Amino acid sequence: MFYQWRMIAILFCVSLPVINGDAAEPELGSIVRKTQAAAVKIYGAGGAGMEAYQSGFLVSPDGHIATVWSYVLDVEPVVVLDDGRRLDGVIVGFEPELELAIIKVDADELPYLALSETMPEIADPVLAVSNLFGIATGNEPASVMQGMVAAVTSLDARRGTFKTPYSGPVMVLDLIANNPGAAGGVVVDANGVAVGMLGKELRDASAGVWLNYALPAAKLRPAIADIVAGRTRETKPMTNELPIGKSHSLVTLGLGLVPDVLELTPAFVDHVLAKSPAATADVRPDDLILMVGNTRIDNQRTLMTLLRSLDRRDAVMLTVQRESRIVSIKIQP
């Protein structure tokens, strides 16, 4: 019996180096180094107390760098590579709706990162590599943070809550990504594939908190590929206010609200015009308008602004509170 156990013990010890594999350097360490090698520090325009630097990462062997489109790029930026080389950057393309800019430097055979085609999953481990606070200069490697994907959600549903033209899926990160100079940094997964780019500092206006998030590589990939290949892109027009005659208003719906006397008056219905679309849809006095479509209405001004962006020919979906019940109403013009 003892003889058997001794053999098992010897076998176990012999196989330990095999278990550890080719671990002269741990897996995580090599991913960190490879990512840092492709990370760059970008210096440009500052002013009015805002930092004049941000981060970026190489996406092609020919020197194309992905970064955020921001005030830092108001002048042609200087790019410092991981090995300390200072190169002049030229902005070769940008996509404002994706908050994306591509800078090119004149160098080749540079290490670059592959971009993921899929969204990562919640709780997936990630590393964020950026030059937050401008800590790294010259040939110092960019800083690394470890964390995971905290949530996969969309900025779309909360229009007006975030001051950004981007309205697609984002990854909220369980690490403090929101730091000066970190924007444009890269988020890589456990295999070293870029799954996101750290976004510009963004405040969630409804909660009052700074968001730790990244724009997904899967969304940026087509635009990056087009810019690198020199193809021009069709950009979608941004939604904004329609001319007064073309948009909805309280008049087109037939609603009157309680007097707007507080700083943020809730949108209580005071009266409904007879035979109006709102009357036909059975909106009643004292209804509290909670939402229009998917957008929360927390005061009358939000409601007015939102109505100005809706085409008056379209139906309007309201969610109201009537006493203690929640009622959905569709107003057909």
Partner 1 sequence: MHSRNGWTFWALVILAFMASTGGVDADDDLRALRAVAIRSAAKQVESSIVRVEKFGVIESGGEVSDDAPTVAIAIDNQRHFIASSLVTADQSASIVLVDQEDRRSTAKIIATDHHRQLVLLEAAEELNVPPVTFSDPTLQIGQTVVAVGRIAGDGSVALSSGVLSAEDRLWGIALQTDARVSSVFYGGALVNLRGEFLGVIVPAVPDDMGEQATAWYDAGVAFAIPASAIAKTIDAMVKGEDIRQGLVGIVSKSNDPYVESTEIAAVKPRSPAARAGIEPGDTVLSVDGQAVRSHREIKQILGAMDAPRSVVIELKRGDETLRKDITLAESIPPLRPQSLGITVGSIAGDDGVRQLVVTGLTNNSPVANVINVDDVITAIGGSPVDDIKSFRQIVYLADPDEPLSISLARGSENGEREAVDVNVKTIDLVDTFVDPLPESLRYVGGDNDMWEITELSLTDIANKGAVVAPKIEPGSDVGKGLGLLVLLADPGSGPAEKLAEPWREHATKHGVVVCIIAPADPERWQADEVDVAARVVASIAKRYPIDDSMVVIGSLDKGAGASMAIAVGIGRPGKFAGLAVAGDARPPAIRLRENDPSAPLQMLIRMAADAELPPWTTVLEKAGFPIIGAGDDPETLMRWVRSMPRI
Given the rule CB under 8 A, which residues bind partner 1? Answer: 3-4, 7-8, 11-12, 15, 18-21, 27-28, 121-125, 148, 150-158, 161, 172, 174-176, 190-191, 206-210, 212, 262, 264, 266, 268, 288, 290, 294, 296, 298-299, 319, 321, 324-326
Three-class SS state of 260? coil
Task: Please say which residue, 107 or 258, places its beta carbon nearer to partner 1.
Answer: 258
Q: How far is the CB of 62 from partner 1 (least distance, A)?
A: 29
Task: Please say which residue, 19 or 244, places its beta carbon nearer to partner 1.
Answer: 19
CA 179 to chain centroid, in Å, comes to 14
Cα–Cα dist 196/148, whole Å? 12
For residue 251, how many other CB atoms are within 10 A of its CB? Answer: 12
Q: What is the 3-state secondary structure (H, E, C) of 77-138?
A: CEEECCCCCEEECEEEEEEHHHCEEEEECCCCCCCCCCECCCCCCCCCEEEEEECHHHCCCC
Q: How far is the CB of 247 from partner 1 (least distance, A)?
A: 24
Task: Please say which residue, 191 or 305, places its beta carbon nearer to partner 1.
Answer: 191
- Residue ranges of alpha helices (H) inside 194-238 are 217-229
Task: Please say which residue, 153 or 249, places its beta carbon nearer to partner 1.
Answer: 153
Q: How far is the CB of 30 from partner 1 (least distance, A)?
A: 10
Q: How many CA atoms lie within 13 A of 154 on its CB side?
A: 8
Q: How far is the CB of 266 from partner 1 (least distance, A)?
A: 4
The type of residue at 215 is L
Q: How far is the CB of 268 from partner 1 (least distance, A)?
A: 8
Task: Please say which residue, 229 or 261, places its beta carbon nearer to partner 1.
Answer: 261
Cα–Cα dist 331/269, whole Å? 14
